[in-house]
A = this chain, B = another copy of it.
Amino acid sequence: MTVENVVDHPPHAAWLPDAAFTAVGRRRVAVLAPDVSGPGARIPAPGPDRSREVLATLHHEVAAATAAHGGAVVGQDEAPDLLLTLLPGPAHPGPPHPGSAPTPPPSPAPARSGFRVVRDDGRVTVSATGPTALLHGFFHVVRQGEDAFTGPDTDETHAPAQALRVLDHWDNVDVHAVMGQVERGYAGGSIFYDDGRVRDDLSRVTAYARLLAAVGIDRVCINNVNVHAREARLLTDDLAEVARIAAALRPYGVRTHLAVSFAAPMTLGGLPTSDPLDDDVRAWWRAAADRVWATIGDFGGFVVKADSEGQPGPFAYGCDHADGANLLAAAVAPHGGVVHWRAFVYDHTQDWRDRSTDRARAAYDHFAPLDGRFADNVVVQVKHGPLDFQTREAVSPVLAAMPRTRLALELQVTQEYTGQQRHACYLGPWWSENLAFRPWGDDGARVADVVAGRGPGPGGGIAAVSNVGDDRFWTGHPLAQANLYAFGRLAWDPALDAADVLDEWVSLTFPGDDGTVDVRVREVLHAVLDDSWHTYESYTAPLGVGFMVRPGHHYGPDVDGYEYTPWGTYHFADRDGIGVDRTRATGTGFTGQYPAPWRDVYESLETCPDELLLFFHHVPWTHVLHSGVTVAQHVYDTHFAGVERVRETVAAWESLAGLVPGDVDTRVRERLAEQLRSATEWRDQLNTYVWRKSGVADAHGRTIY
């Protein structure tokens, strides 16, 4: 990749530059798929034939790669280096029902969503029973590069751990007066909408779907969970426009979901109520779903934020979340659709003087009692932590509390609380920690198992808020592309090591003209990103206490910014100490929402991990951590060190001058300069705040203002 071709070809290629196809493109490749047309068939015919379209895409990708790099498209009997073959499977199956077993059967027959890779004396055969799975298999080979063809003989099957892997877009059709075009978006406008309508040119959406296919994501919810009046109409009046977006996503096997408003029967349907038990309401939703599927045959389902932060919900009718979710589930069930129902429910009009309410408790208190009452095609979507996507918080106990409910883990790729794509913060390690957490202790299932249906419950997969916009680099900060990449890969296989995933991303994104990455570039990108989440944590809110961000936009420090607000996010710092007492013994009792051993590990000051200390306990500034320093000294030490690490990051990146494309370099430098400024501001505000409040002097006498 040269500077010139990047400048000439916006948008940025992300992890699919031409050079990433070097190894495959040099080979002789055959595609064996019965009854499929060529690339010309990519434009959807009336009544879209999903399989045909995806296979056409595969043909097209193979043809483009081989054309670019000197290989050839050949017949299966012409001794191809790579054979991509669609095996006979269920004819025209509907979308996979979430109830289907996500565990792939043993080799050699892959599950419909998986693929098999056989390498025999340097010749590779990828087979699958579904076109999208075969496309995923193709990108698997692309990802492996030369290694795909040069390794020892092998026979592997690959299937996604999570049957449902969704990216949620908080995109608004109309620019929202407060939240803008994309709520919590830090990468420009929406790729779907421009100021009030679906874009005419959706080529960017197809390019996005291609990036997603290359990491195994196959579902996208295209509008904000805060469904405003204009956006609500996507479900009805603007269904034809939604169908255009679905058509743009389809060639790469990506299904479309819609966020809907629980009040839609009233606001769109003119009914006097949205009562989930009302027959007219049920009929309205059934008719609405029928229309959607009649228009978009491979539509995925609905996403709902109900009775949360002002969104309407079933509470208004004396009903609960199970009643609400099941209403929609019944409407979409005939079509194999799924309802993602968010568990992000809490009192956002709390009184800071009220110490009896604890926002961390809210999701469990609302949802755990409903376990077993949700329909099979409802997925309860649970934020990874009990608060709100903080840089560090405990894992949500809801994930261990609903064994009879399909649970999904919700992550946030968009960096609302982790630097807003101005700070380099690679979230792979943080997500890995969440996925690997074992709520029942060392012998129990991991969170990744729970949502995969390999734990005590049926599993609902994984979802995340996308970080993509119409920015030239997709994600504002070019290095934030790594987060989108890592989300896809960890959703497919949560056991992957985050640093290995980053390495894949580097290999794909920064190849030289020969398709390989300069060793210095690889080293520096690891140095910049591998530990960047810990670096970000080190100069922001300490020890799991969370927030301390500027209210509203959530960027930059404001230690007391949320301390006296209705949002339920307090740290209770005074001259003596800081932290939230969430113990059963003396606090809010939140620790009791965990099964053993964590209910006890977190309860005790002796065993509570340092990094979550202030999430679970209120302690004196002079409390000595397991690390051996006081809380106050920890703040000073980590904040001084964090800024130094950012300085090192800046220097490391600058050493790459000339080794990375100029436009990427320029943008990254701009962002790093802002990161250093902002980290310094965080350091100084936090240190000054703690010093002013605690009076504990820095042991090393550094400058605190």
Contact = CB atoms under 8 A, between A and B. Distances in A.
A370 to B, nearest CB: 33
B684 A576 contact: no
Contacts of A573: 692
Contacts of A705: 352-353
How many copies of the polypeptide does the oligomer hold? 2
Given A559-B560, A560-B559, A560-B560, A353 B684 contact: yes
Contacts of A574: 691-693, 695
A698 to B, nearest CB: 15
A575 B693 contact: yes
B695 A575 contact: yes
Interface string A555-572: 001111100100000000
Contacts of A684: 353
A685 interface: yes
A311 interface: no
A392 B81 CA distance: 83
The interface centre, meaning the residue of A564, A576, A681 with most chain B CB atoms within 10 A of its CB, is: A564
Contacts of A693: 574-575, 692-693
B685 A564 contact: yes
A497 B155 CA distance: 97
Interface string A348-362: 000011000000000
A559 B558 CA distance: 12
A564 B557 contact: yes
Nearest to A696: B575
Contacts of A681: 564
B575 A564 contact: no
A694 interface: yes
A556 to B, nearest CB: 9
Contacts of A694: 575
Most buried by B among A352, A353, A557, A576: A353
Contacts of A561: 558, 561
Interface in A532-587: 557-561, 564, 573-576
Nearest to A704: B353
B353 A576 contact: no
B695 A576 contact: yes
Interface string A661-698: 00000000000000000000100110010011111000
A558 B705 CA distance: 21
Contacts of A557: 564
A47 B272 CA distance: 60
A695 B353 CA distance: 18
A685 B685 CA distance: 21
Contacts of A576: 695
Contact of A575 (B353, B558, B575): B575
A559 B695 CA distance: 19
A703 to B, nearest CB: 9
A575 B692 contact: yes
Nearest to A703: B353
A640 to B, nearest CB: 15
A669 to B, nearest CB: 23
A70 B310 CA distance: 58
Interface of A: 352-353, 557-561, 564, 573-576, 681, 684-685, 688, 691-695, 705
Given A353-B684, A559-B560, A574-B692, 6 more contacts: A353-B705, A561-B561, A564-B681, A574-B695, A575-B575, A575-B695
The 4 closest A-B pairs by CB, nearest first: A574-B692, A575-B575, A353-B705, A560-B560
19 contacts: A353-B684, A353-B705, A557-B564, A558-B560, A558-B561, A558-B564, A559-B560, A560-B560, A564-B685, A564-B688, A573-B692, A574-B691, A574-B692, A574-B693, A575-B575, A575-B693, A575-B694, A575-B695, A693-B693
